Amino acid sequence: MNEFYHTMNYKKLLVEIYNEVQDLNLKGKTADYIPELSNIDINKFGLSLVTVSGEIFSVGDACEKFSIQSISKVLTLAMVYPKLDEKLWQRVGVEPSGSSFNSLAQLEWENGIPRNPLINAGALVVTDIIRSLYENPVAEILSFLNKITQSASITYNEKMAESEINHSSRNKALAHFMKSFANIESNVFKLIETYCYQCAIEMTCEELAKAFLLFANHGKNIYTNEQLLTLSQAKRINAITQTCGFYDEAGEFAYKVGLPGKSGVGGGIAAVLPGKFSVVVWSPGLNDKGNSSKGMKALELLTTKLGYSIF
Ligand code: GLN
Tell me: the pLDDT tens digits for 147-171?
A: 999 999 999 999 999 999 999 999 9
Residue 242: how many other CB atoms lie within 10 Å: 22
* CA 167 to ligand 1 centroid distance, Å: 11
Nearest to 298 by CA among 19, 71, 2: 19
280 forms bridges with which residues in the sheet?
A: 48, 270
pLDDT range class, residue 9, cuts 50, 70, 90? confident
Percentage of residues in the chain with pLDDT exceeding 90?
Answer: 90
Site residues for ligand 1, CB cut-off 6 Å: 69-70, 101-102, 120, 164, 171, 199, 264-265, 290
Which atom of ligand 1 lies closest to the CA of 164? 1
* CA 272 to ligand 1 centroid distance, Å: 21
* CA 122 to ligand 1 centroid distance, Å: 12
Do the Cβ atoms of 248 and 100 come closer than 8 Å?
Answer: yes
Residue among 265, 287, 289 whose CB has most ligand 1 atoms within 8 A, to mutate: 265
**Per-residue pLDDT, 6:** 53
Which atom of ligand 1 lies closest to the CA of 120? 4
pLDDT at 4 over 70: no
pLDDT at 7 over 60: no
Torsion angle (degrees, nearest 10) of CA 305, 240, 284, 75:
-120
pLDDT range class, residue 125, cuts 50, 70, 90? very high
Average pLDDT over residues 288-303: 95
pLDDT at 1 over 70: no
Average pLDDT over residues 284-288: 94
Which atom of ligand 1 lies closest to the CA of 33? 10
Lowest mean pLDDT among 34-43, 139-148, 198-207: 34-43
**Per-residue pLDDT, 5:** 54
Which atom of ligand 1 lies closest to the CA of 247? 9
**Per-residue pLDDT, 163:** 96
pLDDT range class, residue 260, cuts 50, 70, 90? very high
Phi first, then psi: what are they for 82, rounded to 5°? -65, -25
* CA 68 to ligand 1 centroid distance, Å: 9
The 3-class SS string of 271-285 reads EEECCCEEEEEECCC
Average pLDDT over residues 243-269: 95
**Per-residue pLDDT, 27:** 84
* CA 6 to ligand 1 centroid distance, Å: 36
pLDDT per residue as tens digits for the range 47-85: 999 999 999 999 999 999 999 999 999 999 999 999 999
pLDDT per residue as tens digits for the range 223-237: 999 999 999 999 999
* CA 3 to ligand 1 centroid distance, Å: 39
pLDDT per residue as tens digits for the range 186-216: 999 999 999 999 999 999 999 999 999 999 9
Which atom of ligand 1 lies closest to the CA of 290? 9
- Does the pTM surpass 0.85? The reply is yes
Which atom of ligand 1 lies closest to the CA of 266? 8
Which atom of ligand 1 lies closest to the CA of 200? 1
The pLDDT mean for the chain works out to: 95
Task: For residue 170, give every residue at least 6 positions away whose Cβ sits within 8 Å of its Cβ, in sequence order, or none.
Answer: 102, 104, 120
| Strands in the chain per DSSP E | 46-51, 56-60, 66-67, 155-156, 201-203, 261-263, 268-273, 277-282
Set out the domains of the chain in order of their start, with CATH numbers.
3-306 (3.40.710.10)
* CA 178 to ligand 1 centroid distance, Å: 18
Atom 6 of ligand 1, nearest CA residue: 70
Taking the C-alpha atoms of residue 142 and residue 126, their distance in angstroms, rounded to an integer, is 16
**Per-residue pLDDT, 247:** 87
Atom 4 of ligand 1, nearest CA residue: 120
pLDDT range class, residue 128, cuts 50, 70, 90? very high
* CA 157 to ligand 1 centroid distance, Å: 15
* CA 66 to ligand 1 centroid distance, Å: 14
